[in-house]
């Protein structure tokens, strides 16, 4: 399993958000470097975001969720075309689960387990 995972739940539908594109980036100096990309599965999860064997390092990471594309595919007009979640990882040996609770006009996130 990837040391960084995510899970997107569509709280307006009460279901996992399938097909949300996610890009994982690492901040290096003053620029973002893409590390991986994926799409949520039928359960709204991406368990293998970082390729196997990719070492995690301490630093600032950003997950970019393509929420506008997701809602458009659902036939719903959303307010946020994308959601960026920026986190500080200080222990590279840890596991970081970053869920996104999503609705057309709001979102919330937290560090999961």
- Report all structural domains of the chain as residue ranges with CATH numbers, in order of start: 4-109 (2.60.40.180)
Give pLDDT tens digits for 67-93: 999 999 999 999 999 999 999 999 999
Q: Which residues contact 24 (CB under 8 A, 6 or more apart)?
A: 4, 34, 35, 36, 37, 49, 50, 61, 62, 63
Above pLDDT 90, what percent of the chain?
Answer: 88
CB contact at 8 A, 42 and 18: yes
* pLDDT recorded at residue 65: 98
pTM of the entire predicted model:
0.95
Q: What percent of the chain has pLDDT over 70?
A: 100
Which pLDDT value is given to residue 51? 80
Burial class (CB in 10 A: 0-12, 13-18, 19+), 100: buried
CA pair distance 83, 28, nearest whole angstrom: 20
Asked if residue 64 has pLDDT above 90, the reply is: yes
Terminal alpha carbon distance of the chain: 13
């Amino acid at each position: 399993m990837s040391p960084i995972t995510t899970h997107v739940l569509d709280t307006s539908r009460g279901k996992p958000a399938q097909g949300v594109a996610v890009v994982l980036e690492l901040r290096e100096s003053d620029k973002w470097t893409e590390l991986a990309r994926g799409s949520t599965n039928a359960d709204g999860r991406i368990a293998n975001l970082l390729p196997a064997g990719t070492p995690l390092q301490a630093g600032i990471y950003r997950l970019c969720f393509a929420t506008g594309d997701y809602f458009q595919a659902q036939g719903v007009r959303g307010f946020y075309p994308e959601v960026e979640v920026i986190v500080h990882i200080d222990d590279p040996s840890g596991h970081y689960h970053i869920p996104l609770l999503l609705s057309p006009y709001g979102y919330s996130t937290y560090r999961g387990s």
